Structures are given as structure tokens and as C-alpha cells.
Amino acid sequence: MLLDTNVISELVRPRRSPAVVAYLSGLEPDQSYLSLISVGEIERGIAQVAQSDAPQRAIKLRNWLDGQVVPQYAGRLLPLDEPVIRRWGELMALPEVRARSGIAIEALIAATASVHRLTLVTRNSRDFAVFPVASYDPWTFPLAPNTELENP
């Protein structure tokens, strides 16, 4: 499972989705991965919070990212390597993708899932529907974590 940024970020929301928390807590460590894109998106969020009137929140988020997320996913942070970038180029050339704007980040995450043959776990299934990757939304369809999901 490739966890989208919104899935891993659910763990630090003030009101967490019980279904998502249960899903994540039931995953075995070797069942879930993160794209380095998600680390970048979280980093962007921390910078935005730090620039707002909530510097203490930014410190808490920084501690969470550096002290929990990165160590927990060590060895399971998937980079934007050559196969992923090449797959991204293929995905960006699809007519249904070319017709949409502002989708490059989603395409990088979809390319990562595709290359590594992982199901993408996201709340934004609609955003990823144009890509030929399997996706799962634990907010909409709560599921036992060890349930096998089919990859296309």
C-alpha cells in the first residue's frame, strides 16, 4: 500500500477518522510505503503553518515528521527514481490526464504506485481516477487492513 499524504496526515488531525486510524494501526510495517512526494507535501504544510500565527503547531508537526514518520518509514520511503519519472512521463501523456490542469503531483504519486505495483490509499480517489492504478479510500470504504486489494 502506498499511503497518500492525506492518509498519513490523518494521524495528526485534531479529529481523526476512527476508520483511518484503525486501518493504519492494523497494517504490518512491511505493508505500507510513502512517496518522498508526501514528505515534501508535509514539509510544505509545516512551512505554511510556521508562517501563519501557529508556530507551536509547526514545531509539533516538525517533531512528528522528523521523529515519527521518517524513522517509521525508513527503508519504505520511495524516491523519484528513473523508473518512476519515466512512468510519470507516460501518465502525463495520457489524453485524460492532459485534459486536466494541476495534476502533476498526483501523477508522480500514481507513477510511484504503478512502478512499485502498490495500491494507492487516499481520500482523493476521484483525483487519481484518471490513472491506471488501484486505489482505496478508507474514509468511504472501511476495510480490514490485511484484506488483499487487486492491482490492475
Per the annotation, binding residues are 4
Residues contributing to the annotated binding site for Mg(2+): 4
Q: Is 19 exposed, middle or buried (0-12, 13-18, 19+ CB in 10 A)?
A: middle
Sequential DSSP letters for 22-61:
HHHHHS-GGG-EEEHHHHHHHHHHHHHHHHTT-HHHHHHH
